A and B are shown apart, each in its own frame.
Chain A
Amino acid sequence: MAMTIHVDIVSAEGAIHSGLAAMLYAPGEMGELGIAARHAPLITRLKPGDVRVEDEHGQQEHFYVSGGMLEVQPDIATVLADTAIRAENLDEAKAFEAKRRAEDALAGQTAEFEYAKAQAELAEAIAQLRAIEKLRKMKGG
């Protein structure tokens, strides 16, 4: 019997593949990797590309990943696939964008958080909800 390794491919938005494989091919950042059972523990980042899973009969299944991580243990390999295209400067741009949005949305307001006012208003809102609830119960009963 051929030695197999358990391969899981998951992304944050869902599981993609799970099963036994004879061989796993992945586009590592330092070069293409072929992982068989009893591989030494390894963690690497993945480049966008093709992840191939080969079962005992030589059948290959292809999965495209836009990057991610690969973790290898002697009998288990996990591909943590990204669902977004990632790059350091791209992430920075997104962070900048999120900041700008906040500034736009909050232009001209005070920075001090008035929790007393907030608390009062929230208490009122909750009280209103409770009152409605009570009224309904009274009517029902």
Chain B
Amino acid sequence: MAGAKEIRTKISSIKSTQKITGAMEMVATSKMRKAQERMQASRPYAEKMLQVIRHLAKASPEYRHSFMAEQREIKRVGYIVVSSDRGLCGGLNSNLFRRLVAHIKEQKAQGIEPVFCTIGSKALAFFRRFGGKVEAQVTQLGDKPHIEDLIGTVKVMLNAFENGEVDAVYVVYNEFVNTMTQEPLIRQLVPLQAADDEDRPSGPIWDYIYEPDARLVLDSLLTRYIESLVYQAVVENGACEQAARRVAMKAASDNAGELIDDLQLVYNKARQAAITQELSEIVSGAAAVG
């Protein structure tokens, strides 16, 4: 029975791998649902904020914030790169980085220098391998990311923008299209792009009462708005991660199943051959004696 034992060991080892990937698939499925809920839950806040900012844009405020200013000439850009903390999620992160690299290449052709902030360990590992100016980073956000953990990283970029060190800031993350599809996306954060271009409001011109004053209120409002956009990117990327992992683990479990079937066939053949050989040995032995 040459090799039969090895094949058996191999089968049992693949079976245990299959169990692991199967369990991971189930875990990812349940986590994906929760991540999707979190994604939904964060929407009202951003929508409300956008509403308020639209009101502000219409209300002809006496103060214009630098985040809302016209696009200045771009020499350096900042990217906030959102990635997952863990691997085993198919091509999710590599697709994102590929999209980013293509974007950077385009920018470099125009002489624009990139600066990065990373969220998640995969992005950090990526820039560690390939270089790049990483200004700030945060990792290990876990399954329940909190805005609190993002404030610092976002602030670094916004400060750089206000000091004129970068002329535009983008957030790079995976967009959750559906459970099977995730699209890498590069979205401009600042300067804020005019949402709808109804230049002058048709109604009577009015303005808010600002407490304590317009500048401070707008400052905190816009900072929060941008943080909420980044937070949304993070939760959306989280949902993508779980969805991608689910698909990857399902594929792995299926592959393991196929491999086991194939090996079982080889094993059966080997066993059969051994039995046949033994039989013919016995028969020929009996014939020799008789």
List the interface of chain A (C-beta within 8 A of B): 8, 10-15, 28-30, 40-45, 69, 71, 73, 78, 80, 82-84, 86, 91-99, 101-102, 105-106, 109-115, 117-119, 121-123, 125-126, 129, 136, 139
Residue of A41, A84, A95 most packed against chain B (CB within 10 A): A95
A115 near B41 (CB under 8 angstroms)?
A: no
B265 to chain A, nearest CB (A): 13
Which residues of the partner chain A approach B97 to less than 8 Å between Cβ atoms?
Answer: 118, 122
Q: Determine which of B98, B129, B132, B148 lies in contact with A119 in the assembled complex, contact meaning CB atoms within 8 Å.
A: B98
- The chain B residue with its CB closest to the CB of A18 is B44
Contact string, B32-70, partner A, CB cutoff 8 A, digits 1/0?
000000100110111011011001100100000000000
A18 CA to B257 CA, complexed, in Å: 50
A78 CA to B51 CA, complexed, in Å: 10
A91 CA to B118 CA, complexed, in Å: 18
B52 near A91 (CB under 8 angstroms)?
A: no
- The chain A residue with its CB closest to the CB of B232 is A12
Knowing A12-B227, A96-B152, A119-B105, the reply to whether A42 touches B137 (Cβ < 8 A) is: no
A118 near B126 (CB under 8 angstroms)?
A: yes
- CB-contacts of B73-109 with A (<8 A): 90-91, 94-95, 97-98, 101-102, 104-105, 108
- Is B146 close to A, CB under 8 A? yes
A8 CA to B147 CA, complexed, in Å: 20
With A15-B44, A82-B147, A106-B127 known, 13 other A-B pairs at CB within 8 A are: A12-B46, A13-B45, A29-B212, A41-B59, A41-B206, A43-B211, A45-B212, A83-B146, A91-B155, A118-B101, A118-B129, A121-B129, A129-B90
B104 near A40 (CB under 8 angstroms)?
A: no
A116 CA to B19 CA, complexed, in Å: 39
A98 near B45 (CB under 8 angstroms)?
A: no
A42 CA to B130 CA, complexed, in Å: 49
User: What are the nearest 5 A-B pairs in CB distance?
Assistant: A94-B152, A98-B152, A98-B136, A84-B148, A113-B132
Which residues of the partner chain A approach B91 to less than 8 Å between Cβ atoms?
Answer: 125-126, 129
13 A-B pairs whose Cβ atoms sit less than 8 Å apart in the complex: A12-B228, A13-B38, A15-B41, A30-B211, A43-B56, A45-B212, A80-B52, A91-B152, A93-B152, A101-B136, A105-B134, A110-B131, A118-B101
A115 near B108 (CB under 8 angstroms)?
A: yes
- Selecting from B1-9, B168-176, B186-194, B217-225, the interface stretch reads B217-225
Which residues of the partner chain B approach A86 to less than 8 Å between Cβ atoms?
Answer: 151, 220
A117 CA to B152 CA, complexed, in Å: 30
Which residues of the partner chain A approach B210 to less than 8 Å between Cβ atoms?
Answer: 42-44
A113 near B147 (CB under 8 angstroms)?
A: no
A135 CA to B8 CA, complexed, in Å: 24
- The chain B residue with its CB closest to the CB of A97 is B152
Q: Determine which of B42, B94, B208, B255 lies in contact with A12 in the assembled complex, contact meaning CB atoms within 8 Å.
A: B42
Knowing A98-B155, A122-B97, A139-B258, the reply to whether A84 touches B48 (Cβ < 8 A) is: no
Which residues of the partner chain A approach B90 to less than 8 Å between Cβ atoms?
Answer: 129
A31 to chain B, nearest CB (A): 9
- Is B27 close to A, CB under 8 A? no
Q: Determine which of A15, A44, A95, A123 lies in contact with B152 in the assembled complex, contact meaning CB atoms within 8 Å.
A: A95
A126 near B94 (CB under 8 angstroms)?
A: yes
Knowing A101-B137, A126-B94, the reply to whether A95 touches B159 (Cβ < 8 A) is: yes
